Amino acid sequence: MACRVFQSSIRATALFLFIAGQCLLAQLPGLEKEPWTGYFAVYQQRTFHYMIDSKGEGTIAPLQRTGAPITKVLHLPVTVFIQEKMPDGKVVEHEGLAVSLKSTSEPTEKLTKLTYTGKTKEETAFEVSVESQGDRLRYGGRITDKGKLTANPIRLCVQVKFPSAYRPADRDEKEVIKQIRDDELKVTRSDGKRFRLVADKPLAEPPNEVADKDLGLVSVEIGAWRGMNFEFSAMPNSALRLTTPETEGLLRGFFVQWTPDPATDPKGESRFQIEMK
């Protein structure tokens, strides 16, 4: 009896290790050399580092002239997910499963171009490409199989998150607003109209020229980033959106979202360009 129990325990342990191994193998492979251990891809420039981890999540880390990070907390996460537009107009996000990610590219600390694929839990399959050149990154992507998400319109989305560069909770908010008087957030809508946004005002506040509008260009210059300027642009057959958490002002943090149009760009040839200046 003891022998049977022991053998059953061995089989159970072996099965667990096999499943765990399969999950690990299904994630994007990682580098084995410091300081980039575990990262799938790295791109190093004088003014920033860009990393993609085993879950396909990117990070843009701006650098000082000395090569050190601007701060330990000010960096830009880059994520990819599927947006589903519901009948009531709300947008639901579907994340890709880390265990579904695959790539024919090898882990690299000298990223030039790579592609990876993945699926959501709804079996929606997608493909993502990332390219680098100079101070620019370019994302592309498409949905290759709708899976179970067939009831409503869906799109692939690449999102860059700007965290709050200032902490008004620690100081008087009027002082914070005064400090950011020279900060600039400029946008160009897809119809060519240009706007300069006020950082302490909600996007949807009247006259609401930007919220829920397709944009072609977003330019960000924030003093807390110590001279680093960011420019986001959408190539033809795609668009940008600027969003904030609920009714918060831009100084609390915001998101730049890029979505290619699956109707006019079925092959995923359009690009989302991120440039650090």
Lowest mean pLDDT among 19-28, 82-91, 147-156: 19-28
* Whether residue 151 has pLDDT greater than 80: yes
Count of beta carbons in the 10 Å neighbourhood of residue 114: 20
What pLDDT digit, counting tens, does each position of 6-15 carry?
A: 344 434 333 3
Q: What mean pLDDT is predicted for residues 149-175?
A: 81
Q: Which amino acid is at 214?
A: D
Lowest mean pLDDT among 41-45, 73-77, 210-214, 245-249: 245-249
**Beta-bridge partners for 217:** 188, 233
* Whether residue 16 has pLDDT greater than 60: no
What pLDDT digit, counting tens, does each position of 202-229 carry?
A: 777 667 788 788 999 999 887 767 678 8
Lowest mean pLDDT among 2-6, 158-162, 203-207, 247-251: 2-6
pLDDT score of 1: 46
CB-CB contact of 215 with 188 (8 Å): yes
28: nearest Cα among 95, 126, 108, 102: 102
pLDDT score of 228: 81
User: What is the model's pTM?
Assistant: 0.85
Write down how long the chain is. Answer: 277
Which residues make Cβ contacts (< 8 Å) with residue 122, sequence separation at least 6? Answer: 94, 147, 148, 149
- CATH architecture classification, 41-276: Distorted Sandwich (2.70)
Question: How high is the mean pLDDT of the chain?
Answer: 85
Tokens representing residue 46 in the block: 């004088």
What pLDDT digit, counting tens, does each position of 43-72 carry?
A: 999 999 999 999 999 999 999 888 888 777
d(CA 203, CA 248): 8
CB-CB contact of 111 with 132 (8 Å): yes
